[in-house]
Amino acid sequence: MNTVHPGLARAFAAMVRRDLRLAYYKRSDLANPLLFFVIVATLFPFGVGSDPEQLRHIAPGVIWVAALLATLLGLDGLFKPDFEDGTLEQMALSPHPLAVLVLAKILVHWMVSGIPLIVITPIIALLLNLDPALLPVMLGSLAVGTPSLSLIGAIGVALTAGMRRGGVLLTLLVLPLYVPVLIFGANLLQAAASGLPVAGQFYVLAAIGMLALALAPLAAAAALRISLE
């Protein structure tokens, strides 16, 4: 066992470095989900009106929906480029568990998509007139909830990796699984705004994240093997 873990850790780290390097070279692709997040969040005031109280009330849901859709937009590049250039086959044939390599790719996806969304959220919150006192709760909910979006989304991407036009199917597969994260993430902010305890919602988001962390890499790896056949 002692001879296996160091090699596995090095493979995981190498996959993370590789995907981070590729993400750096494709900075324009990384900007698209972030720009989409900003556009969706800022368009809501034009549709529902600019009343400050109304915006403050809908801000949590708007931010969470925008983050969900932005994450979905960036999922397509998680496995498809590797599938097309043959890298995915090499990963499947490597002596290391495919699920561990998949987890490394999911981690990078969250680092380059989820973290920028969290960083820019304070600006969006100001535009939507969110109470500044709720901003730490908002950021905490996104930090706990967005990894689940990447993990769950990876399963859908793995199932559609071999399809030329799998975007619509990916949306149909993933969106229903995103609903619990959206419900508890938005409800957490609404409870905080009402002065109610929010620990329960945080625990549920964390539980969803831990369940996704345990199952999503295995499910995605199995789906990728099916796509490679």
Q: How far is CA 113 from CA 55, 147, 210, 224, in A?
A: 25, 10, 19, 22
Least confident stretch, 111-125, 150-164, 209-223: 150-164
Greater pLDDT, 205 or 7:
205
Number of domains in the chain: 1
Question: And the tokens for 48?
Answer: 């529902």
Task: Name the 3-class secondary structure at 171.
Answer: helix
Does pLDDT of 151 surpass 80? yes
Instruction: List the one residue out of 41, 226, 222 whose CA is nearest residue 124.
Output: 41
Does pLDDT of 90 surpass 90? no
Length of the chain: 229
| pLDDT score recorded for residue 165 | 66
| pLDDT score recorded for residue 3 | 46
Task: Name the 3-class secondary structure at 197.
Answer: coil
Instruction: List the one residue out of 22, 15, 170, 174 whose CA is nearest residue 99.
Output: 15
Mean pLDDT of 75-79: 81
Instruction: List the one residue out of 80, 102, 90, 74 whose CA is nearest residue 15.
Output: 102
Find out whether 91 and 215 touch, Cβ atoms under 8 Å.
Answer: no
Question: And the tokens for 19?
Answer: 């995907």
Instruction: List the one residue out of 86, 202, 206, 192 whose CA is nearest residue 151.
Output: 206
Task: Name the residue with tokens 């561990």.
Answer: 100
Does pLDDT of 167 surpass 70? no
List, for residues 21-43, the tens digit of each pLDDT value: 888 887 777 788 888 888 888 88
Find out whether 33 and 74 touch, Cβ atoms under 8 Å.
Answer: yes
The average confidence (pLDDT) of the chain is: 85
Least confident stretch, 10-24, 77-91, 108-122, 204-218: 77-91
Least confident stretch, 47-61, 115-129, 159-173, 204-218: 159-173
Give the pLDDT band (50/70/90) at residue 102: very high
Residues of the domain holding 136: 5-228
Does pLDDT of 1 surpass 60? no
Percent of the chain clearing pLDDT 70 (strictly above): 94
Question: And the tokens for 130?
Answer: 């969110």
pTM for the model: 0.87
Mean pLDDT of 49-66: 82
Does pLDDT of 6 surpass 80? no
How far, in whole angstroms, is CA 14 from its chain's centroid? 21
The set of residues, in sequence order, having a beta carbon less than 8 Å from that of 86 and lying 6+ positions away, is none
How far, in whole angstroms, is CA 159 from its chain's centroid? 17
List, for residues 109-150, the tens digit of each pLDDT value: 999 888 999 999 998 888 888 888 888 999 999 999 999 999
Greater pLDDT, 154 or 48:
154
| pLDDT score recorded for residue 148 | 93
Greater pLDDT, 1 or 184:
184
